[in-house]
């Protein structure tokens, strides 16, 4: 995860600070929060260039059979199911048409076959999509692992991950062994078919989708994200 740039810190007005006109202030506060989240990510993207992400190649996802054969831990993995309206393909942070839309619900399993779901948890949520062969994802996982070990994730925020772009012919396969080596703690939904990535509009790796507590999209981004920027984005999500 690149730490070569730092985004400026923004103050988000508290809509509860005033005792009168609470409804309009809540609306204004929500709009300001969305603007701040987008501004933080846009600054990071424009400052860092476009060298911190890997593009998606057609047919990158492997069939479930290939994944199941990778290790004993993967024998219970099931193909994911997606419900709801798919988000448009991500192109840019500024003016992203997905912002404000309800995120799709994805159900599937982790590498041990345990059920896992991407849905409205009632809490602000960050979802990171990772490909085992992507060097930027590999650095992202290492840096995020250290950040998580330091207890930096806010207690009122969920961090979920999706293993996608799975390909037995590409480096660092299988993904379950990679994440186990890195002691990756967040829940992992295994996207055996690429359906979840497609539904969320993934266009490059690593890919981030940030959701407000009501399940609506607050922002999306591609590329390595410094933990300083990540913390600011998480702080701007609507509770």
**Predicted local distance difference test score (pLDDT) of residue 87:** 99
**Predicted local distance difference test score (pLDDT) of residue 42:** 53
Q: Check whether 11 has a pLDDT greater than 50.
A: no
- Where are any strands of DSSP class E within 5-55? 54-55
d(CA 83, CA 105) in angstroms, rounded, equals: 5
For each of the domains in the chain, give its residue range(s) and CATH number, in order of start: 22-236 (3.40.30.10)
4 vs 44, which has greater pLDDT?
44
Residue 186 has which token pair?
A: 């967040």
d(CA 33, CA 39) in angstroms, rounded, equals: 10
pTM of the model: 0.77
Each residue's pLDDT tens digit, 211-233 = 999 999 999 999 999 999 999 99
Each residue's pLDDT tens digit, 78-104 = 999 999 999 999 999 999 999 999 999
Q: Check whether 106 has a pLDDT greater than 60.
A: yes
Which residue is listed with tokens 């959701």?
211
């Amino acid at each position: 995860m690149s730490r070569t740039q730092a985004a400026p810190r923004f103050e988000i007005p508290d809509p509860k600070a005033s005792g009168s006109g609470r409804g309009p202030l809540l609306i204004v506060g929500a709009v300001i929060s969305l603007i701040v989240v987008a501004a933080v990510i846009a600054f990071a993207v424009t400052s860092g260039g476009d060298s911190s992400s890997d593009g998606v190649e057609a047919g990158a996802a492997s069939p479930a059979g290939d994944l199941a054969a990778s290790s004993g831990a993967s024998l219970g993995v099931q193909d994911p199911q997606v419900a709801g309206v798919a988000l448009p393909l991500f192109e840019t942070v500024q003016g992203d048409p997905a912002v404000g839309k309800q995120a799709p619900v994805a159900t599937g399993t982790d590498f041990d076959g345990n059920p896992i779901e991407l849905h409205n948890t009632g809490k602000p949520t960050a979802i990171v999509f990772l490909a085992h062969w992507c060097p930027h994802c590999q650095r992202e996982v290492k840096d995020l692992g250290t950040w998580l070990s330091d207890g930096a994730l806010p207690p009122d925020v969920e961090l979920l991950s999706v293993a996608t772009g799975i390909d037995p012919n590409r480096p660092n396969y299988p993904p379950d062994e990679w994440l186990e080596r890195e002691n990756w703690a967040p829940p992992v939904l295994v996207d055996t078919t690429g359906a979840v990535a497609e539904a969320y509009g993934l266009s490059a790796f690593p890919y981030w989708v940030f959701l407000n507590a009501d399940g609506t999209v607050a922002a999306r981004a591609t590329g390595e994200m410094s933990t300083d920027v990540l913390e600011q984005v998480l702080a701007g999500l609507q509770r």
